[in-house]
Amino acid sequence: MPPLLELSGLKVYFNTQDGVVKAVDGVSYSVDAGKTLGVVGESGCGKTVSAMAILRLISQPGKIVGGSIMFEGQDLTQISEGEIRKVRGNKISMIFQEPMTALNPVFTIGNQIAEAVRLHRGASKQEAYDAAIKTLEQVGIPSPAKRVHEYPHQLSGGMRQRAMIAMALVLNPRLVIADEPTTALDVTIQAQILDLMVEMKEQYDASVIMITHDLGVVAQTCDDVVVMYAGQVVESANVKTLFAEPAHPYTRGLLESIPSRHKESHGHLKEIKGMVPSPIDLPTGCAFHPRCPDVMDVCKEKMPTLKKCKTGATTACWLYE
């Protein structure tokens, strides 16, 4: 079976006054039907921009300048604005970190969910409201027939996130992109929302792209993982392989900075030294080389390409060439 979604060599650049920001610079990954793909990496490495590109939500001065995004036999980078609108929210939906950015404060929850059903399915007002209430119930919102008439600010943070998940699912999408869906919530609510997402994914038989900087979230929800650094994929692997045998030194660094994996350091986490480079001014060779504990001469000069290594993972690192 071909993957549900396949990014190949995707490039998204921003033309700014300071120069060209290569936010996404040749990213390839794929999502299999019914699977959850984790996208991890430090802040600024291009996770959100690559996901927004899938829905063609990149605005000026940003532009998709290369690559392809294949979904159900069509290249989403090439289809018309009218065509992408039929995909957006319908076949591919998105859940954001902050529900208030996605929910409109001046309309009721029910109105917003029902509107999507009317727009994409041509349902009557009553049918659309019934679908909204049913979905709100599925995502665990109590008294959905009453809540459907409430405004976003009347719901707690956790309930708002549930409402956004309902909105993302109501049209039974093939793919849900979740961008840090639990980061803004407190810890107990985070766990509930993650459980809900796993349950809903099964029920709706959808695929998920889970964008997160939290490897705990990855362990709990993902089948496969891509690790991004400075606008590129540096490793992609099955989740078990990634945790058991991380190949790229950057992946190892990320894993070593998880609290539970570092008991011997008495609570002091090992951090990856240095900072993510500016995407306007990337280092030569491998972009990670100035921070890499295993750096060699070749790393400073030439960019490694993605290759299969013996763990089964694919990684871009001179250690495995």
Ligand X SMILES: Nc1ncnc2c1ncn2[C@@H]1O[C@H](COP(=O)(O)OP(=O)(O)OP(=O)(O)O)[C@@H](O)[C@H]1O
Binding site for Mg ion (CB under 5 A): 47-48
Interaction between residue 135 and ligand X (CB under 6 A): no
Shortest distance (Å) from residue 192 CB to Mg ion: 22
110 binds, among Mg ion, ligand X, none (CB under 5 to 8 A by kind): none
Q: Single out the residue of 46, 89, 152, 285 in contact with ligand X (rule: CB under 6 A).
A: 46
Q: Give residue 318's Cα distance to chain centre.
A: 27
Alpha-carbon distance of 45 to 186, in angstroms, equals 25
Interaction between residue 38 and ligand X (CB under 6 A): no
Interaction between residue 44 and ligand X (CB under 6 A): yes
Beta-strand relationship, 5-16 and 62-71 = antiparallel
Alpha-carbon distance of 55 to 93, in angstroms, equals 8
Q: Single out the residue of 279, 285, 286, 288 in contact with ligand X (rule: CB under 6 A).
A: 279
**In contact, 40 and 213? CB cutoff 8 Å:** yes
Candidate ranges 46-54, 101-109, 133-141, 305-313; the one touching ligand X (CB under 6 A): 46-54
Closest to ligand X by CB, 50 vs 135, is 50
Interaction between residue 43 and ligand X (CB under 6 A): yes
Q: Where do runs of H (alpha helix) occur along the chain?
A: 47-54, 81-87, 99-102, 109-121, 125-138, 144-147, 157-169, 187-204, 215-221, 239-244, 249-256, 297-301
Angle 5-7-9 (CA atoms, 0-180°, nearest 5)?
170
Candidate ranges 45-53, 85-93, 140-148, 218-226; the one touching ligand X (CB under 6 A): 45-53
C-alpha R_g of the chain? 20
Candidate ranges 44-52, 125-133, 143-151, 199-207; the one touching ligand X (CB under 6 A): 44-52
Residues at the contact surface with ligand X, assessed by CB under 6 A = 14, 16, 21, 23, 41, 43-49, 62, 213, 279
